[in-house]
Chain A
Amino acid sequence: MSSGDEILSVEGVARHFIPPVSVTDRLFGKKPVVNRAVDGVDLVLRKGETLGLVGESGCGKSTLARTIVGLYRPTAGTIRYEGAVLDGKRTRAQQRAIQMVFQDPYSSLNPRMTVGQMLSELLRFHKLVPRNRVDARNRELMHLVGLPESALGQRPRQFSGGQRQRVGIARALALEPTVLVADEPVSALDVSVQATIINLLAELKETLHLSVIFVSHNMAVVRQISERTAVMYRGRIVETGETGTLFDDPAHPYTRLLIGSVPRLAVAGGPARTAETTGDLGPVREEVARSAARDETQPCRFADRCPSVVAACAVEPPLLPDPRDPARRAACVHISQHTEGVIA
């Protein structure tokens, strides 16, 4: 990690949740089971790129996103923005720089405020424009996200899902961020509306020179929007790489399972894409909790489902570079053999 073109870096970040223990459990000396939602993540976001963060429910991708934005304090590790460590107390400028777009814009917007009131409040609080320019800036923001100026006088419930997501994006952009963290921004939308929001985010990234972390469970959407992709599994990144290569030739067995499982349009005569079915994932959260209760040296977290498990998998590997492709890393002991494309 040498290049100076990185805008944000995440180093060994963990975020654990400790559930409250009831009085009776405490009396019997029962220890809480720590949920290691994010469990040691290294990640770099480069200037002007869109980084896709994919994984299934419970893998910790949303927790990581929220930790990066500052909604959660990391249990361990460091987050740097433009080289400066972001600690518990972020400056106003740092808060503004990293903004979030939420999955459900309805619950993330104040239902009693019009869009105009909400944006004006933000602009005034952060003293971003002189008072007499607030209205002009509001209108500018509406143009930016493709909403009519009349939207400023409306409240969240008066919008359709797609329009509401545009309001959510306008809210984030009002603070003139350089990094946008979008957490499942299109998951709640119908497919036809999904496309408009994906296109909008891609356009905004270009015109406003944003760097974007795009969190999603939808592999196809991530392939469409991101230049690089990071795959998360049970709290860790298991593979990162350039999106095209990662999708076409996954190095980690989990990535392969994930990409292979995405249903494709199957037409008669064509190959029926049957996904690999390596065992049942089981109740994800419980298993995460179980693995969390284990000791420091734990096996590869994909070992129990992995078709190519070997003895070396008893110790969890770090993200290892792919000898064939320096831009790619995978947390798999087989990565060195990936040269021959051996893992099967």
Chain B
Amino acid sequence: MTPPLLEVRDLHVDIPMPHARLHAVRGVSLTVGAAEPVGLVGESGSGKSLTLRALLGLLPRPARIVSGTVLIDGEDVTGLPPKRLRRRLTDTMSMIFQDSLTALNPVMRVGDQIAEAPSRKLGKSRAEARAIAVDLMREVGIADPERRYELYPHQLSGGMRQRVCIAIALSTKPRLILADEPTTALDVTIQAQVLAVLRQLRQEEHVGLLLVSHDLAVVSQTCSRLYVMYAGKVVESGDLTDLVTEPRHPYTFSLLRSVPDPDRRVARLLTIHGRPPDLTEPVTGCSFAPRCPFAEHACREGEPALEPVGPGRHSACRRVDTADRWNAMVEEEAGSAR
């Protein structure tokens, strides 16, 4: 079997605080195959963005990697000397950020920003790099690329700027694109367009994608496999369709039931009470247990590990009940509350 393009093993990220240490990422393992679109879903504070940023060494200060292994094509790159590690990572991956305005250089023409990597990294001449940049702009759906090449970031709309960022990410010919909430700052009609660009890339370019988002629907538009994160850990993973139609972790289940549906009104949205645990304290028991509608006494003793629960599926929940049973329990509860 060919090793996956990217494999992360047991990643830990800490954020030192004045009087404590926040364990933001607590042992995340994930894999992304060649040309595979993978989603990483969770709420704010779940550690999803830090996981992504740790991969490229882009952690915001003072967060730091405590331990973990990164394998590219099965080769452990963590031990490489810093320069070679950086080279190896940037040759393989590039990143798209949420806020395209701060991601771009405000005093440099957008076209030149796209052409920068081809000329510096791939050693193309100015004219060649320019031609590559114009092609990339066309590819990400920027109409009239020759004219827009000359513009500065502030002269473009948010959707156009995000396309420029995607073009820059593609300019190094990466095998994997890391995207951190790439459409969250955009209006819904523009979001749809940017998602269409990402979908198209996945089909035409055979680039892998690791997409981080709080919005399951957005992730479902582009990804075929999902990791759901909660309190610094992956609590469930598997094929998108399986996970959505039959979640095996109560957090995924609750998340799906608490988001309103644009196509239908429900009598009452399911709510998740309380809030995520304070990660400066050691977590005892299942981290979701205090908020879990199905928690039993045993759930509060020892944190459950991510165990296989079906073909290609993992869940960190001791309750083996299926979503159908959970659904029934929720309906029952709602009925008695009435």
Q: What residues make up the interface of A, taking CB atoms closer than 8 Å to B?
A: 56-57, 160, 162, 190-196, 198-199, 202, 217-221, 223-224, 243-244, 247, 257-269, 272-277, 280-284
A56 with B275: in contact, given A195-B270, A280-B159, A284-B157 (CB under 8 Å)?
A: no
Which chain B residues numbered 151 to 198 have a C-beta less than 8 Å away from chain A? 155-157, 159-160, 187-193, 195-196
**Minimum C-beta distance from B198 to chain A (A):** 12
Using CB atoms and an 8 Å cutoff, list the residues of chain B in contact with chain A: 43-44, 143, 155-157, 159-160, 187-193, 195-196, 199, 214-218, 220-221, 224, 239-241, 244-245, 254-256, 258-266, 268-273, 275
Q: State whether A56 touches B269 (Cβ < 8 A).
A: no
The 6 closest A-B pairs by CB, nearest first: A275-B192, A261-B192, A224-B260, A192-B272, A195-B269, A195-B258
Contacting residues, chain B, for A196 (C-beta < 8 A) = 271-273
State whether B188 touches A56 (Cβ < 8 A).
Answer: yes
Whether B265 pairs with A223 at a CB distance below 8 angstroms is: yes
Among candidates B156, B187, B217, B256, residue contacting A217 with C-beta atoms closer than 8 Å: B187
- Residues of A within 8 Å of B244, CB to CB, are 265, 267
Task: Give Cα distance in the complex from A277 to B189, angstroms.
Answer: 8
A residues in contact with B273, CB < 8 Å: 196
Known A202-B268, A247-B262, A272-B199; further 17 A-B contacts with Cβ < 8 A = A190-B44, A191-B259, A192-B43, A195-B271, A195-B272, A223-B263, A224-B266, A247-B263, A257-B189, A263-B220, A265-B220, A267-B220, A267-B241, A268-B239, A277-B193, A280-B157, A281-B159
In the complex, chain B residues whose CB is within 8 Å of the CB of A265: 216-217, 220, 244, 256
Knowing A190-B214, A195-B270, A268-B241 are in contact, say whether A217-B188 is a contact too (CB < 8 A). Answer: yes
Q: How far is the CA of A198 from the CA of B265 in the complex (A)?
A: 12
CA distance A274 to B191 in the complex (A): 11
B245 touches A263 (CB 8 A): no
Q: Which residue in chain B gives the minimum CB-CB distance to A279?
A: B143
Indicate if the CB atoms of A264 and B260 lie closer than 8 Å: no
Distance between Cα atoms of A283 and B157 in the complex (Å):
4
Which residue of chain A has its CB nearest to the CB of B269?
A: A195
- Supply 13 A–B pairs (Cβ within 8 Å), ascending by A: A56-B188, A56-B189, A191-B215, A192-B43, A192-B254, A192-B271, A194-B258, A198-B260, A224-B261, A262-B188, A266-B221, A272-B221, A273-B221
Q: Could you say which of A244, A258, A265 has the most chain B C-beta atoms within 10 Å of its C-beta?
A: A265
- CB contacts (< 8 Å) of B44 on chain A: these are 190
Say yes or no: A275-B262 contact (C-beta < 8 A), given A198-B269, A263-B217, A263-B218: no
Residue of B nearest to A257 (CB): B189
Please give the distance in Å from B19's CB to the nearest CB on chain A. 17
Docked pose: A272 CA to B43 CA in angstroms: 25
* Complex CA–CA separation, A261 to B220 (angstroms): 14
B230 to chain A, nearest CB (A): 10
Picked from A258, A266, A283, the residue with its CB within 8 Å of the CB of B189 is: A258
List residues of chain B with CB within 8 A of the CB of A194: 258-259
| A224–B265 CB distance below 8 A | yes
Residue in chain B with minimal CB distance to A261: B192
Bound together, the chains give a CA A54 to CA B156 distance in angstroms of 24
Residue numbers in A under 8 Å from B268 (CB-CB): 199, 202
B279 to chain A, nearest CB (A): 14
Interface centre among B199, B258, B266 (most CB of A within 10 A): B258
Q: Is the CB of B156 within 8 A of A283?
A: yes
Please tell me which one of the listed residues B199, B258, B265 contacts residue A244 in the complex, with CB atoms under 8 A apart: B265
Q: Which A-chain residue is minimally distant from B243 (CB atoms)?
A: A267
Question: Whole-angstrom distance from the CB of A305 to the nearest CB of chain B?
Answer: 9
Smallest beta-carbon distance B171→chain A, Å: 21
